[in-house]
Amino acid sequence: MSDVDNLLKQVNLIAEKYEAVAKATGENFNIFQILDLECAEVKHSKIIAELLNPNGSHNKGNAFLELFLNSIGITEHQKFENAIVETEKITKDGRVDIAIIGNQATIIIENKIYAGDQEKQLARYRQSFHNAKIIYLTLDGHEPSDYSTNGDRNTYDILLSYESIIVWLEQCREKSADFPYLREIIAQYINVLKLLTGQTRRKEMSKEIVEAVVKSPENVIAAFEIAANSDEIKKKIVLEGFCPAMEKLAENHGLTLKYNKEPEKCLEPNWNFSLSNETLQKDNICISFQFEGKNFDNLIYGLAISAKDETEAKGIFNAENLLRKRIIDIGKNPSPPWWLFYGKLCEHWWREELADLVSKDSKIMKKMEEKITELLEISKVK
């Protein structure tokens, strides 16, 4: 057995061990993932808002709200007595994701998972809610763009990450020890957020693999040989497996598929697949699947604007039409100027995802077909 084969066998044994643990604990079963809610920002807002709501179905009163207030440094809980919590609150300056309206104070939460900032969005919210605490919530706690703030740092008060939300949810779970159904739902939601923020069991597995590699010179050499060829492995799987499968899906749905077929381009950021037909072209849109990062990182999907430049895209995006209204009505968040809306399919295409593409019954290709069908249905506006 070669050194490479031996190392692959050791790594496979480690992976099988962690998969066995996941199966034994039921970790692989998650209702939020089954319902494909990981990347639906509106759904995340509704879950968080329901927990924050003192009159929520959790029957824990102010307990969860007070824990949240503590987590963002607000100790004057009396200002939020009898608080009303709303999602998708419509104001003259936009639609607020989460509004916590107390008897003496207000908190506004702008929830961004993958959707882009909207023009002067936070600046407009500051106009509507002069004295409110405005929270900008993202996966990693990054700052909003100038496009949203209009260059004014004072348009928001707190940067919050979903890692902080996880900490708060852990506290909520502890408070729910005597409510088993509630406790387990919160636990499942925590697991989904850990997946989105990269805090999964995989980190533990990675450490164990590293330890296995450094045990011998042979393993180290084998590991670097594999790593040196990783890009070629990825390209072969995607170009010879995924691309022909996408062409077949397009054909089955009567769509024209366009993508850059140059082998090196598939590893670059923003490599995308555009699918269209006469109806979509008439509306200046297309179905799009795009890897935002390099090496098949951050696969997103949605209805994209077909335009020659950003100015034309803005004009098409801002035009009032039934399709845009329908997208908002079904809870999809527009992301100007290039996307009527988009969601996320996969964070990384490596490990299981690439292995899936070489299987005869690919789950990824089934998911791609589901999204194509969904997007075609959304685009049918009477």
Same domain, 154 and 287: no
User: 160 Cβ partners below 8 Å, 6+ apart?
Assistant: 72, 109, 135, 136, 137, 138, 141
CA distance 239 to 34: 28
Q: Is the predicted pLDDT of residue 42 greater than 70, yes or no?
A: yes
Task: Note whether 313 and 348 are same-domain residues.
Answer: yes
Q: Are residues 121 and 184 in the same domain?
A: yes
Average pLDDT over residues 230-259: 92
Same domain, 259 and 148: no
How large is the average pLDDT for residues 177-198? Answer: 87
CB 32 within 8 A of CB 192: yes
Alpha-carbon span 312 to 307, nearest angstrom: 6
Whether residue 300 is found in the same domain as residue 318: yes
Same domain, 163 and 267: no
Q: How confident is the model at residue 80 (pLDDT cuts 50, 70, 90)?
A: very high
Q: Are residues 111 and 245 in the same domain?
A: no
Class of residue 97 by CB neighbours under 10 A (exposed 0-12, middle 13-18, buried 19+): buried
User: Could you say which of 209, 228, 247 is where a domain stops?
Assistant: 228
Q: Which domain holds residue 83?
A: 32-196
- Give 164's pLDDT tier (boundaries 50, 70, 90): very high
Q: How many domains does the chain have?
A: 3
Find the mean pLDDT for residues 62-83.
Answer: 93
Tens of pLDDT, residue by residue over 191-236, are 888 877 766 666 777 788 888 888 888 888 888 888 888 888 889 9
Q: Are residues 89 and 218 in the same domain?
A: no
CA contacts within 13 A on the Cβ side of 91 = 19
87 and 107 together in one domain: yes
Please count the other Cβ atoms lying within 10 Å of the Cβ belonging to residue 100: 24
Bridge partners, residue 98, by sequence: 87, 109
Among 228, 243, 277, identify where a domain stops.
Answer: 228
The confidence score (pLDDT) of residue 293 equals 82
- Mean pLDDT, the chain, whole residue set: 85
pLDDT score for 167: 95
Q: How far apart are CA 185 and CA 197, in angstroms?
A: 19
Please check whether residues 240 and 371 belong to one and the same domain.
yes
Q: What confidence tier does 243 reach under pLDDT thresholds 50, 70, 90?
A: very high
Model pTM? 0.59
Task: Note the pLDDT of residue 149.
Answer: 86
One domain for residues 75 and 178: yes
What pLDDT is recorded for position 126? 87
Domain check: are 80 and 178 in the same one?
Answer: yes
β-pair type (94-101, 106-111):
antiparallel
Chain segment 93-123, per-residue pLDDT in tens: 778 899 999 999 999 999 988 666 777 888 8
Contact 288, 335 (CB under 8 A): no
Asked which of 173, 196, 219 is the last residue of a domain, the reply is 196
At 264-298, the pLDDT tens digits run 888 888 999 999 998 888 888 899 999 988 888 88
